Amino acid sequence: MKQFDPNTREYRALKNSWRLYLLKSTSLNYTKEYYDRHLRQKVTMAERVGIGLDLDPQLAAGYELLQGAMTALEEHDVDQLMDLLFTKWDVPAPFQTVLKTLRKNSEGVYNATVLPYSNGRVEGINRMIKLIQRTAYGFTNFGHFIARIRLHQMGTEAEKRRRQVQAPAAA
């Protein structure tokens, strides 16, 4: 992107649509057109991505790699994911760094793909604790802070149980 002048159409095509490149290709809309004020024309989401990919072959290779990796992870296809990681790709340097890191940690990538375990619950608890810290402006007593965390967890657990009990009755 740095190779384009900021006032050009190419620069605008890449700069303002970066979120579209992170979507799965199956999530892109191929039929509904919208007016893109940056390109000053009507395009679909898929056309917008195509315009950007036509500008740079390295970006296109990176996009293909990303799409393949997302598909392999979604389908838990370890062989496809490892083939993608250990294939030589002509992608930009930051992408090479990511690939190198994933290759180095291939055992963990393999386990994350195959096993049903996740650290999502731990990450959710960490997020809740940070939210409490941010809104409480600090606690003078650490015991009160721990009590607030436990109260919040009890409330969320009770709410989940209440929703589970009400759901079958409503159906």
Task: Give residue 104's pLDDT band: very low, low, confident or very high (50, 70, 90).
Answer: very high
The domain containing residue 74 runs over which residues?
9-114
Q: pLDDT digit string (tens) for 80-89?
A: 999 999 999 8
pTM above 0.75, yes or no: no
SS3 73: helix
- 150 and 70 housed in the same domain: no
Span 68-95, mean pLDDT?
92
CA–CA gap between residue 25 and residue 167 (Å, rounded): 34
Q: pLDDT digit string (tens) for 6-36?
A: 888 888 888 888 899 999 999 999 999 999 8
Span 121-141, mean pLDDT?
87
- 32 and 63 housed in the same domain: yes
Please check whether residue 2 lies inside any domain of the structure.
Answer: no
- 63 and 105 housed in the same domain: yes
CA–CA gap between residue 111 and residue 117 (Å, rounded): 9
pLDDT higher than threshold 60 for residue 169: no
- 74 and 138 housed in the same domain: no
- 46 and 109 housed in the same domain: yes
